[in-house]
Amino acid sequence: MAKENNTKKFININKWFFMSKFILIIVVGGFISYSIISVNLNSKITTGTENSVKVYGQRQSRNIANSMAQMIISEINDSVSWRITSPEEKSLFGGTATYRIIDTVVAGDTLIKVAVTGNYNNNVTNVMALVEKPSTGFVPPIVHGAWTANGPLDNTISDMYIDGRDHDLNRNYVPYTGVYGISTSVEFYNTQKAEIGGTKDSIDYPMSYPENPNVIEENYNWGGEFPTTPDAVLGIPEGTLKSIAQSGQDGSQYVTDPEDLNLPLSGITYVEINDDDDNDDDDNDDDNDDDDDKIDMKKTQSKGILVCHNSSGTTRIKQIKLKNYPFKGLIIGDYMFHFHLDVHGAIILLSQNLETKKKCSGNKDHEVLYSSEIIKNATSILGIQSNFSGGTNYGFQKQRLTVRHWLE
């Protein structure tokens, strides 16, 4: 009996020991399994979170870099000379944008390089945009014709070739964008058989004699508002042209005697001859007008805006000469006569008392060609957008400056 009891006790002990081992195995096994699953799951969640954060960070840094570049381009259009040569930093969209704006030469063209580095939580995106400099030149709306005047042009144009069709910098004809050949506020008679062409309603008319009536604008009513000063022609504050001329910017010059001009002309050339001045030393002139002056640009590549004006609008230039090269730009004068030169751009005469008696002949070898591109180049020195057009607008997916290349 005692032996049987001992055996039972032993079996019981053995059974509990056996059960304890199983329980231990189950607990430890379960713990290990849970740990493995947990680590695996955590690893996946961590990887997923890291990927999300990384993708978001990369996208955000890209947004920062691109947005900053766009903002800079817009700003340059308003502040033409704005440059940042040493990197500067700006906070944007929760990150930072480090930017630099410099001038650079690409394939022979001077462009503005906008380099931006967007940084968001150490995700870095570099963007570089190469943009064209703002074009600040404009064609004044007063330019109705290759030759525009507030008085009679019959004698002044002589027998020249006058073409109001648009031309590029190299004298190539540009269709549909031209102006009249002649525009005057009085009647016009082509007395000296000039060949005249032009554009009306986007239809181009080649130069011919007799000219097509569509290339002439006569008796145009300016509503009594034909400008009386060169500054008014350009829509800028009075005194601006004279001030730039006196500053010497881009070769500009201001003289009171045409003989003092330094050649070639460029920038703004302001010739102001007062009524009481007599700078004319050509006493043998058969025009018998000793108060008149001459401008001789000799054989130079002159360009820009040439102004011949005084405060009373009575400057008289009896002759303007240039050989071998055309004058490229805008000529604005009170009274001018004897145009012995080629003009690529436009001419505007302000005086109502233009030449009606004298005649100028032998001008069949000269031309006046309208060129909006050349006029824009000439007026770009003013550093402003046209006051007449209301500036340049822009919208979705459009840049305020022309972007040549964008690297990201």
Residue ranges binding other proteins (CB under 8 A) = 8, 11, 15, 18-19, 22, 25-26, 29-30, 33, 36-37, 40, 43-44, 47, 51, 106, 128, 130, 403, 405-408
Q: Where are the beta strands (DSSP E) in 309-378?
A: 316-321, 327-333, 335-336, 339-340, 343-349, 367-370
Amino acid at 102: I
Shortest distance (Å) from residue 28 CB to other proteins: 10
Give the shortest CB-334-to-other proteins separation in angstroms.
46
CB 363 within 8 A of CB 340: yes
In whole angstroms, how close is the CB of 90 to other proteins at the nearest point? 21
Quote the least distance from Cβ 136 to other proteins, whole Å: 25
- Least CB distance to other proteins at residue 400 (A): 15
Q: At closest approach, how far in Å is the CB of 99 from other proteins? A: 17
CA 310 to chain centre: 31
The least distance separating other proteins from the CB of residue 4, rounded to whole angstroms, comes to 12
CB nearer to other proteins: give 105 or 361. Answer: 105
Helix then strand count (H, E) for the chain reads 4, 23
- Give whichever of 103 and 289 is closer to other proteins, judged by the CB atom: 103
Minimum CB distance to other proteins smaller for 47 or for 247:
47
Q: Which is nearer to other proteins, 174 or 403 (CB)?
A: 403
Residues 6+ apart with CB under 8 A from 146: 162, 163, 164, 179, 180, 181, 182, 198, 346, 347, 368, 369, 370
Least CB distance to other proteins at residue 2 (A): 18
Smaller CB distance to other proteins: residue 62 or 340?
A: 62
* Minimum distance from residue 264 beta carbon to other proteins (Å): 33
Q: For the CB of residue 121, give the shortest distance to other proteins in the complex, in Å.
A: 18
Nearer to other proteins by C-beta: 20 or 274? 20
Tell me whether residue 71 or residue 232 sits nearer to other proteins (CB atom): 71
* Short-list 180, 179, 189, 186, CA closest to 149: 186
The DSSP bridge partners found for residue 343 are 327, 368
User: Is the Cβ of residue 1 or residue 219 nearer to other proteins in the bound state?
Assistant: 1
Sign of the alpha-carbon dihedral angle for 259, 260, 262, 268: negative
Choice between 124 and 128, CB closer to other proteins: 128
Is residue 225 within 8 A of residue 210, CB to CB? The reply is no
Task: For residue 358, give every residue at least 6 positions away whose Cβ sits within 8 Å of its Cβ, in sequence order, or none.
Answer: 155, 287, 337
Q: Measured from the CB atom, is 29 or 87 closer to other proteins?
A: 29
What is the helix (H) or strand (E) element at residue 43, kind and residue range?
helix 2-78
The upper half-sphere exposure of residue 336, i.e. CA atoms within 13 Å in the direction of its Cβ, equals 28
Torsion of CA 313, 316, 322, 328, to 10 degrees: 10
Q: Give, in degrees to the nearest 5, the angle at Cα 68 between 62 and 71.
A: 140
* CB-CB neighbours of 129 under 10 Å: 24
The secondary element (H helix, E strand) that includes residue 149 is: strand 145-149
Query: Least distance in Å: CB of 91 to other proteins?
Result: 24
CA 19 to CA 22: how far, in whole Å?
Answer: 5
Biggest alpha carbon distance in the chain? 165
Nearer to other proteins, 49 or 256 (CB): 49
Q: How far is residue 255's CA from residue 270's CA, in Å, rounded to a whole number? A: 6
